[in-house]
Structure 1
Amino acid sequence: MPLSTLLQRSSLPNPVLDPLQAESLLRRHYGLHGTLKSLGSQQDLNLRLDTGQARYVLKVCHASYAEQELHAQHAALAHLRAHGLPVPAVLPAVDGSTLLSIEADGQPLRARLLDYIEGQPLGELQHLPTRLIAELGALCGRVDLALAEFHHPGLQRTLQWDPRHAVALIEHLLPALPDAERQAQVRQVCAAAAERLQALAEHLPLQAVHLDITDDNTVWARDEQRQWQLQGVIDFSDLLHTWRIAELSITCAGLLHQLPDDPLRIASAVRAYHAVNPLHEAELRALWPLIVLRAGVLVLSSAHHLQHDPHNAYIRANLDCEWGIFDVAAAAPAALMEAAFLEAGDCSPLALPLDGCTPLLPALAAQPPRGVDLGVLSPHCEAGNWQQADFDRQVLEAQPGAACTLHGQYRLSQTHIDRADEPATCALGVQLKLAPGSALVAPLEGIWQRHDEGQGCLRMASCTLWIIGLQQAPAEGQRLAQGDALGSSSGWLTVQLCRAAELRPPFFAKPSEAPAWLALCPSPGALLGIACEAPPLVDAQALLARRDASFARSQKHYYQQPPHIERGWRNYLIDMHGRSYLDMLNNVAVLGHGHPRMAAESARQWSLLNTNSRFHYAAIAEFSERLLALAPPGFDRVFLVNSGTEANDLAIRLAWAYSGGRDLLSVLEAYHGWSVATDAISTSIADNPQALQTRPNWVHAVEAPNTFRGRYRGADSAAHYLRDVDAKLAMLDAQGRQLAGFICEPVYGNAGGIALPRGYLQQAYAKVRERGGVCIADEVQVGYGRLGEYFWGFEEQGVVPDIITMAKGMGNGQPLGAVITRREIAEALEAEGYFFSSAGGSPVSCRIGLAVLEVMEDEQLVQNAREVGGYFKARLQGLVDKHPLAGAVHGSGFYLGLELVRDRITQEPASGETHQLCERLRELGIFMQPTGDYLNILKIKPPMVTTRASVDYFVDCVDRILGEGL
């Protein structure tokens, strides 16, 4: 079909079929009737029919579409269904035909009826996860793989979307743009893309392709976990025999409107396609020019169509989106996008032809510079000093003699905190400390181009050499022969190579973009005559596989694809690429990560002694005395153990020994530990799905006094919940069984820090003590100052327990737990023998425990928990006031919970949404995990050094995500 005919057909307005005509057609030819709804289309008429039992799509097009073209689409649908791909089926009319030729108001038309696939397009999402980008790419690969063997005469047609006609079509349609500036921009951008494509065209394989697998032409639905799952591929009107890579180019171009600030994310689609259907190098190189040309055709085609059909709302609504695609395509560096696609397709860049070059700095041959490690684990980085301005330069200047940084290293100094954007940490060049006046010479022939005072580039045949810190530089435009003088160093020199002559590369790249940038900016070591490459990082995926191969599977890790974390500082955890994540869930590290006092105390005590508590040393007495000073009057005995599990296990033994009974009351929805005894009293089904079916007969779980989600709501519901306590006690009385005790978190930690009903513990404790039982306060999670308003959780209820258990933050990560009780309870255990914990109360643990308390006091961390925690809760309450999904805020201080519900009346837990929220927070640089029996509560328990700035960052990110929709 000639171009003029093609444009004439593409300029036709949409077919017109009024509702009565459509209803008549459906009744007469298909025996169907129901309600009709118009669906958008650029050139066809699409009507959804709802019969009450099923849904269908009536597709009507102009008769200028040859029957053979439409039959090709039907055959392709059947072919793909046979290959297991989710595409609609064509429904035959009552006479058996799949294609009708009709006339409406003098218009010759063609009509057919297809299945309607339920779901929604991804184009409606405000945030497109990388997983879905990859799934779209993989889908393209699967469709192309299936269509590779599909042939039909109806595929041999001329179509405006065929990229083989893009250059001619763009030139023809440019006058449709009334804006001369826009017209010039489209011409320039598309001409550059066409030039890159020209040499590759003959190497691109041809086959049948769908040619419109976009976020709008795929239908998706959420599963029970709120994950989007593909339902089907629709709209085969662009089916064609053309370049195979055209398919992926259409998909990637369509994605750009959702990735305005990060077009390199489409490389995920390329990588996924390549894994399913391997691409040739020529296709990978042609992909970006094809994307750019597609963007040009989109805006010009819509502008042209609106000239002929100015009332087409579908096209007009899409035009802004199409200009968004074009603007992203125009702004992204073509060389960088090509490098990203080549890397995604496993194509390594060719080595630069630098053999035989003259060393840039001849003096380095005699005295090679010292390579300085500035990575995440650098010994030069300690106690947050990397946050100082010019930290890297300070480290280099402190080195004796010449020194240089390492190419490709992810530098800790480039991290940033409380920001959602990924920091640019990967060094694409090197910086050198040299003797001032060190001579530089041209490594190869080139032309000098000055960019600013002391900096410029030498444009050589195969690459460009960028230099900063140059004195006596050549004149602008001067051609230099190999070995000619290039100037001298000021003493601090930056050197960087770039393959793309048109680019001024950044010196640091984001980790996600680093592979592409490193392909463009290889190491300058060959020009310097030294080895200046950073050692490769450990492959995080391979390391995870090693963990999974050797570490027991029941010991889970956060996230399916967890970041590789080896460093922390204050309330941040830092991955090996130098990204700092806000730690909002680590209640063990009360002082924060990497605290210098902890390092000093540990190192000193280890250098002196570490042994078990049966030896005599001062630290154990000092620490025990300090703990007793924190406890209520009457508490005079301490046991030191290694964890909260051990503390609660020991508390159970103490209750058994003191009471003479075995039966314990515990509270539903609670978690107390992993040992046999503490697991027995733990009833959280989130931690153990079989918890309620596997309790031994000495454990009696009472109804959870959950004032938000429980059977009785509100702070004054204690009497209702105590009825179940009475019932369990009456049962034990009737059976003549001696009660051992009652264990309860004074604040419901596992449910996100929910306060117990007023007076609940006062009355429950009294009932237990009447029967000779002891009352155990499990303060492992909620105690030790974390609540801000109270040092111990039981203070909120105005009670004093008989046994206090604690752990978590006591050692800021050092294994350390404790049980505090009265002498008569402690000594009751002696009848069963002595108690001993090999490492419990070791000198190292005791010294660290003392230091934690001292730092908490010196840095006023309980006060910080009270003040910043109060601010935190108020900001979270603002989310509840704004977003229906945010159901309630629980807790106080730095033990808070944000409970997500789908309905505030029924309080249906939003478990899937909570999971998605946590995943999205990780993408934005925040670690958060769900808790509660339904895993629908954000368990917010950060280090107690958390600042208001971090609180604002966290709450703003949650607000952003809830606004995007989950």
Structure 2
Amino acid sequence: MKRITRLLNGSKQPKSSKRNIKNSCTPLAVPLMPSTNIEPSLYKGPDYLTLQKIKEKHIVPCIQQYYKSPILIHEGKMQWLFDHKGKRYLDMFGGIVTVSVGHCHPKVNEEAKKQIDKLWHTTNIYMHPNLYEYADRLTSTLPGNLKVVYFLNSGSEANDLALLLARVYTKNYDIISFRNAYHGASPYVMGATGLSMWRFEIPLALGIHHAMNPDVYKGLWGGKYCRDSPVQTTRDCDCTNGYCQAADNYYGQLEEVFKYSLPRGKVAGIIAESIQGVGGVIQFPKGFLKKAFELVRSNGGICIIDEVQTGFGRTGEYFWGFEGHGVVPDIVTMAKGIGNGYPLSAVVTTPEIAELLGHALHFNTFGGNPIATAVGHTVLKIIKEEKLQENSEKIGTYLLLELSKLREEFDIVGDVRGKGLMIGVELVADETTKQPLPAKHFVDIWEDCKEMGVLFGRGGFNANVIRIKPPMCITKEDADFALVVLKRALQNHYNNHKPL
């Protein structure tokens, strides 16, 4: 498949390639979607063109839909979505990593309906059993002294509150985040987000410092022993199975931030994702985050882990992504999968840190809503009863290992990474320089997958990473279908762009 790389770069085709071009170009059978007994209801809403006109007239232009012809989603059941014409799609993105136990899971629906018939809303100025029962159940999943919870509605709100708590508790102001990080779009946390396309030209990052991102695929250091993943990079490095030199090197860069950018080295806190999500499923080298936390705490700061995308068993081996780093944070933020699509988020911290919120009035009208907490509690029960964490590890590992084989067939597949059902496939124009695959070519592949019935996400700084984060209920049969579709789309792309 060297041909496709050379073609995209406008270079001549080399005389030989380490890969078998003939075998890579063998036509694949038309992918057959796994069978299901689910039948969508008949769509009776406004027609497609009418809705498009309403969107153009009344919806803010920043709301951009996926695909050249956006899908009008009508119904969802577990891992499946149906458009207004009844066409079925395998959802491999889970509503942006939000549908954890399955679209319209019958047990979640049942509990939500029960609560709707009893009580919609009181606010937490009154006592309600759902709030307290759920708080007890949720905090029992966390280690150490992480025992106090504040419920909110979104990940941005949760991270916003976490930064406030860090500054109030430590009486320091400066926060460390990472380049390529995403922590939300509210004005406060937009400053912590290290992706320029998510930032407006207004003062945002006051007191926030973006450290070098420890990316072992594209960064300065990293190689084949660095990631906590079934799949490693193809880079060589000086690391060994028991020691990661890349972690030490990136830690040295973090020390430089303390040395040159912080007032007398003092810091309010650090915020980090267990695995960077929007940034393209970037995993820190093994041991790095533990050293980073020790450095922050030794300089008066506290440690915040953003589990908005990685929590609730998605990474498979652990219920919380941070457990894979061998750390216990001072604050954990969570959203998305916590409510399986229902607006719900939470900040969990220690009693000592939580006590500081009582120094001024602080209130969230919808935090701890009876319906939201009923849904959240049910999601926790389903994850345990249906062994979805175990399924994430089993199916996720299978997917990662199978996806890694695509690197041997297609030069444009530069990297495969992740853990559990938190997976990224980075497409490149050049496997040596890691130059991103041009947007037109990426979109061709992405759209082709959609036409064959699989919906993948898209991310990374250059939007060249296929994000695979489906509902955790997917089966091996579903995984095989997604694999065949992606391989077919890559095959089609090569056949459409090969030299004459």
Give the drift of 1:844: 0.6
Superposed, 1:87-166 pairs within 5 Å as none
2:221 to 712, 727, 735: 712
Partner of 1:770: 298
Partner of 1:553: 61
Instruction: Confirm whether residue 820 of structure 1 aligns to residue 331 of structure 2.
Output: no
Partner of 1:698: 207
Contact 2:310 2:422 in 1 (8 A): yes
Superposed, 1:549-698 pairs within 5 Å as 549-586=57-94, 587-611=97-121, 612-688=123-199, 695-698=204-207
Q: CA 1:787–1:536 in 2, change beyond 3 Å: closer, same or farther? A: closer
Give the drift of 1:746: 1.7
Superposed, 1:934-953 pairs within 5 Å as 934-953=462-481
Give the drift of 1:752: 3.1
Q: CA 1:877–1:836 in 2, change beyond 3 Å: closer, same or farther? A: same
Contact 2:191 2:206 in 1 (8 A): no
Instruction: Confirm whether residue 790 of structure 1 aligns to residue 329 of structure 2.
Output: no
Normalising by structure 1, report the TM-score: 0.44
Partner of 1:846: 373
- How many residue pairs match? The answer is 442
Partner of 1:916: 444
Q: CA 1:901–1:694 in 2, change beyond 3 Å: closer, same or farther? A: farther
Letter of the structure 1 residue corresponding to residue 81 of structure 2: L
- Rounded Cα–Cα distance in structure 2 between residues aligned with 1:683 and 1:732: 17
- Rounded Cα–Cα distance in structure 2 between residues aligned with 1:564 and 1:732: 48
Q: Residue by residue, what CA displacement relative to the aligned partner does 1:669-689 show, whole Å, maximum 9, x if unpaired?
A: 01100111111110123544x
Letter of the structure 2 residue corresponding to residue 916 of structure 1: D
SS at match of 1:749: coil
Superposed, 1:204-603 pairs within 5 Å as 387=37, 412=40, 538-586=46-94, 587-603=97-113
Q: CA 1:694–1:897 in 2, change beyond 3 Å: closer, same or farther? A: farther
- Rounded Cα–Cα distance in structure 2 between residues aligned with 1:535 and 1:609: 30
Letter of the structure 1 residue corresponding to residue 169 of structure 2: Y
Q: Relative contact order: is structure 1 or structure 2 higher (C-alpha 8 Å, sep ≥ 6)?
A: 2
* Bigger fraction of residues in strand: 1
- Rounded Cα–Cα distance in structure 1 between residues aligned with 2:211 and 2:44: 55
Q: CA 1:564–1:725 in 2, change beyond 3 Å: closer, same or farther? A: same
Give the drift of 1:854: 0.6
SS at match of 2:176: strand
Q: Residue by residue, what CA displacement relative to the aligned partner does 1:504-553 show, whole Å, maximum 9, x if unpaired?
A: xxxxxxxxxxxxxxxxxxxxxxxxxxxxxx99763212202202211111
Letter of the structure 2 residue corresponding to residue 683 of structure 1: G
Give the drift of 1:711: 1.8
Superposed, 1:857-936 pairs within 5 Å as 857-912=384-439, 913-936=441-464
Instruction: Confirm whether residue 724 of structure 1 aligns to residue 232 of structure 2.
Output: no
Letter of the structure 1 residue corresponding to residue 348 of structure 2: I
Q: Residue by residue, what CA displacement relative to the aligned partner does 1:455-492 show, whole Å, maximum 9, x if unpaired?
A: xxxxxxxxxxxxxxxxxxxxxxxxxxxxxxxxxxxxxx
Q: CA 1:686–1:961 in 2, change beyond 3 Å: closer, same or farther? A: farther
- Rounded Cα–Cα distance in structure 2 between residues aligned with 1:863 and 1:620: 28
Contact 2:407 2:415 in 1 (8 A): yes
Contact 2:429 2:438 in 1 (8 A): no
Letter of the structure 2 residue corresponding to residue 577 of structure 1: K
SS at match of 1:919: helix
Letter of the structure 1 residue corresponding to residue 59 of structure 2: F
Letter of the structure 2 residue corresponding to residue 542 of structure 1: T
- Rounded Cα–Cα distance in structure 1 between residues aligned with 2:50 and 2:147: 51
Aligned-pair identity in percent equals 33
Contact 2:166 2:269 in 1 (8 A): yes
- Rounded Cα–Cα distance in structure 2 between residues aligned with 1:535 and 1:658: 52
Contact 1:571 1:946 in 2 (8 A): yes
Partner of 1:203: none
Contact 1:584 1:941 in 2 (8 A): yes
Give the drift of 1:618: 0.8
SS at match of 2:470: coil
- Rounded Cα–Cα distance in structure 2 between residues aligned with 1:674 and 1:223: 35
- Rounded Cα–Cα distance in structure 2 between residues aligned with 1:631 and 1:653: 21
Letter of the structure 2 residue corresponding to residue 575 of structure 1: D
Contact 1:673 1:679 in 2 (8 A): yes
- Rounded Cα–Cα distance in structure 2 between residues aligned with 1:588 and 1:911: 28
SS at match of 2:416: strand
Contact 2:182 2:276 in 1 (8 A): no
Give the drift of 1:610: 2.1
Structure with larger Rg: 1
Contact 2:444 2:493 in 1 (8 A): no
Contact 1:914 1:938 in 2 (8 A): no
- Rounded Cα–Cα distance in structure 1 between residues aligned with 2:298 and 2:386: 43
Q: CA 1:544–1:668 in 2, change beyond 3 Å: closer, same or farther? A: same
Give the drift of 1:827: 0.9
- Rounded Cα–Cα distance in structure 2 between residues aligned with 1:757 and 1:535: 48
Letter of the structure 1 residue corresponding to residue 210 of structure 2: A
- Rounded Cα–Cα distance in structure 1 between residues aligned with 2:357 and 2:52: 44
Contact 2:445 2:493 in 1 (8 A): no
- Rounded Cα–Cα distance in structure 1 between residues aligned with 2:401 and 2:377: 33
SS at match of 2:90: strand
- Rounded Cα–Cα distance in structure 2 between residues aligned with 1:412 and 1:701: 47
SS at match of 1:902: coil
Q: CA 1:535–1:808 in 2, change beyond 3 Å: closer, same or farther? A: closer
SS at match of 1:818: strand
Letter of the structure 1 residue corresponding to residue 140 of structure 2: A
Letter of the structure 2 residue corresponding to residue 606 of structure 1: I
Give the drift of 1:755: 2.1
Letter of the structure 2 residue corresponding to residue 866 of structure 1: E
Contact 1:571 1:943 in 2 (8 A): yes
- Rounded Cα–Cα distance in structure 2 between residues aligned with 1:542 and 1:609: 36
Give the drift of 1:753: 2.5
Contact 1:565 1:576 in 2 (8 A): yes
Letter of the structure 2 residue corresponding to residue 573 of structure 1: L
Normalising by structure 2, report the TM-score: 0.84
SS at match of 2:126: coil
Contact 2:48 2:72 in 1 (8 A): yes
- Rounded Cα–Cα distance in structure 2 between residues aligned with 1:686 and 1:952: 34
Q: Residue by residue, what CA displacement relative to the aligned partner does 1:804-852 show, whole Å, maximum 9, x if unpaired?
A: 0001111111111011110111112222x13211111111111110000
Q: Residue by residue, what CA displacement relative to the aligned partner does 1:143-193 show, whole Å, maximum 9, x if unpaired?
A: xxxxxxxxxxxxxxxxxxxxxxxxxxxxxxxxxxxxxxxxxxxxxxxxxxx
- Rounded Cα–Cα distance in structure 1 between residues aligned with 2:40 and 2:169: 55
Q: CA 1:709–1:535 in 2, change beyond 3 Å: closer, same or farther? A: closer
Give the drift of 1:954: 0.9
- Rounded Cα–Cα distance in structure 2 between residues aligned with 1:750 and 1:707: 17
Letter of the structure 1 residue corresponding to residue 185 of structure 2: W
Superposed, 1:75-86 pairs within 5 Å as none
- Rounded Cα–Cα distance in structure 2 between residues aligned with 1:726 and 1:596: 50
- Rounded Cα–Cα distance in structure 1 between residues aligned with 2:424 and 2:158: 25
Contact 2:247 2:285 in 1 (8 A): yes
SS at match of 1:640: strand
Q: Identify the range of structure 1 (571-580 vs 550-559) with the bigger mean alpha-carbon deviation.
A: 550-559
Letter of the structure 2 residue corresponding to residue 895 of structure 1: M
Give the drift of 1:223: 12
Give the drift of 1:730: 1.4
- Rounded Cα–Cα distance in structure 1 between residues aligned with 2:222 and 2:391: 31
SS at match of 1:600: helix
- Rounded Cα–Cα distance in structure 1 between residues aligned with 2:438 and 2:163: 33
Q: CA 1:731–1:830 in 2, change beyond 3 Å: closer, same or farther? A: farther
Give the drift of 1:642: 0.5
